[in-house]
Structure 1
Amino acid sequence: QVDTHIHAAACMNQKHLLRFIKHTYQTEPDRIVAEKKGKKMTLKQVFESLHMDPYDLTVDSLDVHAGRQTFHRFDKFNSKYNPVGASELRDLYLKTENYIGGEYFARMVKEVARELEESKYQYTEPRLSIYGRSPDEWLNLAKWFIKHKVYSPNMRWIIQVPRIYDIFRSKNILPSFGKMLENIFVPLFEATINPKDHKELHLFLKYVTGFDSVDDESKHSGHMFSDKSLNPDLWTSEKNPPYSYYLYYMYVNIMLLNNLRNFLFRPHCGEAGSITHLVSAFLTADNISHGLLLKKSPVLQYLYYLAQIPIAMSPLSNNSLFLEYSKNPLREFLHKGLRVSLSTDDPMQFHYTKEALMEEYAIAAQVWKLSTCDLCEIARNSVLQSGLSDKEKQKFLGVNYCKEGPEGNDIRKTNVAQIRMAFRYETLCNELSFLSDAMRTEEISTLSK
């Protein structure tokens, strides 16, 4: 199984975070961990300034778990990243850039990685953020990754770019949207073309498999992206560009970069907001995360099926934010033949156990009465849509995994019945054949006229 959609800042469960906070306070209370208004602060002083004692903290008082209060309230959900509601603790424990160089965050990620390595057959693809405020962000992230040795054979990294240009523009951090794109992509071209002068970034990029575009999709944009839209260098207003504008320019830059290396584009899409987001992703994305709104558009659902665009779905996350579990379309999508996988999104906010991905599979199996074959097909899909190497996919799926239908399925490895694979393949071929015949009939009738 591969957790195809998970954010690094919430990759641990709440009990893990609580245990780590208590451990650091117990073992290094006098360590200088922050600086406020020119004054250096020890870990003990940080907690004293917040008027709290870590020994009294519980899972409930940590207050990082999403519930009814976050439903349709993305702002309240984002605040759940602040343990005990304190942004100081988020900066200290869940950031890569702080006074201690993101050491605490790295240690927690490595603890999660060790648990994955022990489970042997679980992999994950955590998202790390690049904001585009400065070209130095890439080097800082690479240095954090290398210094703390965050590498794990069971992890593949994806870079998420939050759609928050408007915030940076309003604070005069960026002059235009073009500058944001430049800060995100120019360092990658430089490190790829001239790796000797960018050794740290070049090394880090070996473990990065793709890009994600993230933020609250329900935010409305009054601008409709078209050929009349301003070029990125001319987009200097404080208004945020629409979703389709972000996706198009990320896609263009990733495709250019892919002449030199190979990155996937895997944006969040169809969680909320306009259904046109799914149109943009259909034209640009390798696969998407969420895809809930496909259930409102049979035409788009059919297109995603025909193109077999993978969809990483997170029912427990959706249950706390946008859609009740019983109304989630995952079961319907799976039975229709869309290529869906299960993912956790944010274990810290949505899960209770140490094995968050197994929690997703277990609950889905119970609620929707999924068979063993269903679960194995979902797991197989997760490997196919992941950023694992060709060699690793051969190891888990069989040497012929690239072939379509039963021929590409090694039942000894996937445990997916050949009759299921034959049904999927024949159904898809029939649908494509119907379309081909319809197009041919239309051409003949046009010629006869």
Structure 2
Amino acid sequence: MYDVVIFRDGANLTLEQVFQSLKLTAYDLSIDTLDMHAHYDSFHRFDKFNLKYNPIGESRLREIFLKTDNLIQGRYLAELTREVMTDLEQSKYQNCEWRISIYGRSLDEWDKLAKWVINHKLFSHNVRWLIQVPRLYEVYKANGSVDTFEDIVINVFKPLFEVTKDPTSHPELHVFLQRVIGFDTVDDESKVERRIYKKFPYPRLWNTKQSPPYSYWIYYMFANMASLNNWRRMRGFSTFVFRPHCGEAGDTDHLTSAFLTSHSISHGILLRKVPALQYLFYLKQIGIAMSPLSNNALFLTYERNPLPDFFKTGLNVSLSTDDPLQFHFTKEPLLEEYSVAAHIYKMPQSSLAELARNSVVQSGFEMEIKRHWLGHQWYLQGSAGNDIHKTNVPNIRLAFRHQTLVAELDMIRGTTTTGGHSVKSTPEVRNTLLPTTDAVAARAMVKHP
């Protein structure tokens, strides 16, 4: 008995029938046939890059193999995911934060996703999940899935508030959320954002065909997450961080929105164009997970990437993979990122070790796991939080980083003006910019009961 894998063209099709309809056999499949690698034809063409998500350019294969909610309940994707998890567990020294999408088209998306994870036993000590929310309001509005922007906000957050109030209302979701560490939001940042309102309306009134601007999406995700986290913390449940894709292309105002709302960001290459924002990201040590190989294929050639400059300046940067199957050529994509950076940017071992340490600090893994990898007091500033035997990062380097940051903050807040009189600032005033030990620990870990 053959499994029916998709309903298309008015008929239920088995996998054999799908390939017959595409005039393909197993012998025809190759890397070139699949055509899912981001070559130079996608440079500055995000539309062409998006097409690479479809194997051999066919959306039906994407639905069969790369979707969790399809006719076979995501069985093929689960089998592939389980296999990659096994490879990770055997590699021993790599942990991952995988993105999986919630679109906001309907209220049952969370339950379907949680059932997919639990029914297929997709749990691993090496893996945590980031929920990715694509900014596709205009698509859903056009096909009638939603009426206003409020529908998307409700579909994304209502189940989370319900399961926080009563875990038995969504039992699978309650279990799944213990492995979810945060939220991401993605789309083509280079899209032109036309301002059609003098004053932005509330989500329930946003019913135009045009999608809200980046800052609007970011604010409503942040506001709902803040409220949700506060309630979950009071109930002793895990909380979430906000780590959007930001500053990859488009308007530099996106970085302003992220600075005000986000725990850390992905990419951030546009900070090279805005020194003032770059300075603010430095002062607050907001994490920036950079992917030079991805940027090289889409927006910025490798030699122009600001990663080495950001790193020398003292920004909290790390190296990260981005769509490994599309941008990398080997079975070890993260090792590929580090190897190319070491060769092209001439980075010594101590710098690679510091990037790796930053990566662990920025991650959403639990406090105990970070202690295992970095040392018992990893969250302390400077050399006090460094265990050189675990991190291979010289104490003198982290001490210099910390002293430079403190000196910079003292220079800015050395004196304050009150009532026309210049007075020396107090340690309390300076600490409004300098993250405290507790604040660093709270930003960097996901709390669990």
TM-score, normalisation: structure 1: 0.91
The percentage of aligned residue pairs carrying the same residue is 54
Superposed CA deviations along residues 166-212 of structure 1, whole A, max 9, x for unmatched, are 11112221111011100100100001110012101111111100000
User: Is the 8 Å Cα contact of residues 225 and 242 (structure 1) preserved in structure 2?
Assistant: no
Larger relative contact order (CA 8 Å, sep ≥ 6): 1
Query: Which of 268, 279, 296 is the equivalent residue of 2:273?
Result: 296
Aligned to 1:178: 150
What is the Cα deviation at residue 445 of structure 1?
A: 5.2
Call closer, same or farther: CA 1:127–1:443 in 2, change over 3 Å.
farther
Alpha carbons 1:314, 1:343 under 8 Å: kept: yes
Q: 2: CA distance between counterparts of 1:244 and 1:202?
A: 30
Partner residue, 2:18: 46
Counterpart in the other structure of 2:261: 284
- Decide whether the 8 Å contact of 1:224 with 1:242 is kept in 2: no
Deviation at 1:39, TM superposition (A): 2.2
- The letter for the 2-side match of 1:231 is Y
1:231 correspondence with 2:180 = no
1:26-425 alignment, distance < 5 Å? 30-223=2-195, 228-261=199-232, 262-425=239-402
**C-alpha deviation, 1:438, in angstroms:** 4.8
Per-residue CA distance 1:44-101 (angstroms, 9 max, x = gap): 1110001111222111121110011000110100100111111111111111111111
Partner residue, 2:445: none
Contact 1:169/1:238 (<8 A) preserved: yes
Runs of 4+ in structure 1 over 4 Å off: 440-443
- Contact between 1:131 and 1:162, CA under 8 Å: does it hold in 2? yes
Aligned to 2:182, the other structure's residue is in SS state: strand
Cα shift readout 1:85-120 (whole Å, capped 9, x = no counterpart)? 111111111111111111111111111111111111
Q: Distance in 2 between matches of 1:343 and 1:325?
A: 14
Deviation at 1:444, TM superposition (A): 3.1
The offset of 1:31, in angstroms, is: 3.2
Residues 4-33 of structure 1, C-alpha deviations (whole Å, 9 max, x = no match): xxxxxxxxxxxxxxxxxxxxxxxx9x4322
- For 1:104 and 1:438, locate their aligned partners in 2 and report how far apart those are by CA, in whole Å: 62
Q: Give CA deviations for 1:100-155 in whole Å, capped at 9, x if unaligned.
A: 11111111111111111111110110111111100100001011111111111100
RMSD over aligned CA atoms reads 1.7
TM-score, L = length of structure 2: 0.91
Separation in structure 2 between the aligned mates of residue 243 and residue 67 of structure 1, nearest angstrom: 27
Provide closer, same or farther for how the CA distance between residues 436 and 90 of structure 1 changes in structure 2, counting only shifts above 3 A.
Answer: same
Segments of structure 2 that go 5 or more residues without pairing to the other structure are 233-238, 425-449
Query: Distance in 1 between the 2:45 and 2:113 partners?
Result: 30
Q: Which of 399, 403, 424 matches 1:426?
A: 403
Q: Which moved more, 1:434-443 or 1:106-115?
A: 434-443
Conserved 8 A contact 2:416-2:422: no
Residue 439 of structure 1 deviates from its aligned partner by 3.6
C-alpha distance in 2, partners of 1:216/1:338?
25
Structure 1 unaligned regions, length at least 5: 1-27
Q: Which residue of 2 aligns with 1:17?
A: none
Q: Is the 8 Å Cα contact of residues 163 and 173 (structure 2) preserved in structure 1? A: yes
For 1:281, give the aligned amino acid: A
Q: What does 1:16-27 correspond to in 2, within 5 Å?
A: none
Contact 1:225 1:245 survives alignment (8 Å): no
